[in-house]
Structure 1
Amino acid sequence: MIDLAADVSAIFDDVLAVDASYTPVGGQAVAVRVIPSQGDGEMEFNGGALRVPANMFQMPVASAVSLAEGDTLLIDAVTYVVMGAPKRDARRLIWTFEARVSS
């Protein structure tokens, strides 16, 4: 039998993931592992959509069951704020979300 939760854990224990501190709005900080990447985000403008560079992250759902817009990640002294609605994969094991650097 395949243990998907264990497989997800192994992915985030890999060298692609980095240590981070996740803080939900109004909550306590928790140590997590995330996989950062630079991707394309979409920004609506004048009735259309523009592709813009975006900070994308993946994180196990088990690390943050209720990830939401406004939550923060602290990575190497840089704070990122979750933007928009995070999305879970089809098996509900991994969050994918965009975040902006906090100013």
Structure 2
Amino acid sequence: MNFLCVSLLLILSSARSQEDITTDTPSIYYTEPSVPNDNGSDLTELPGGHIIGGKRILERSKSPYVLREDLYVDREGELVIEPGVEIRFAPMIGITVRGIITAK
């Protein structure tokens, strides 16, 4: 009798859990508001990707920057951030540094 009750509970719970599964894609999205900076210009799009060799300089005159894709600074690369530069990140986006980053 106990075996029958346990079996019945397992069948009902597995049927219930299958009903809860949905295949709908959530409608989550992110948009960066276009906010003018002190110079009256919009955000500067900072392209993601790799800084393999050489130097990329983020200038204060072009700030704020928005980063929508991950940015990787490889071993031979360098990222220089001038004083006063503001970087805004989209959700789940970041900078991975294996080379040099200079921010004052």
Q: TM-score range by the shorter chain?
A: under 0.3
Q: TM-score normalised to the size of structure 2?
A: 0.26
Q: TM-score normalised to the size of structure 1?
A: 0.26
* Bigger Rg, which one: 2
Larger proportion of strand: 1
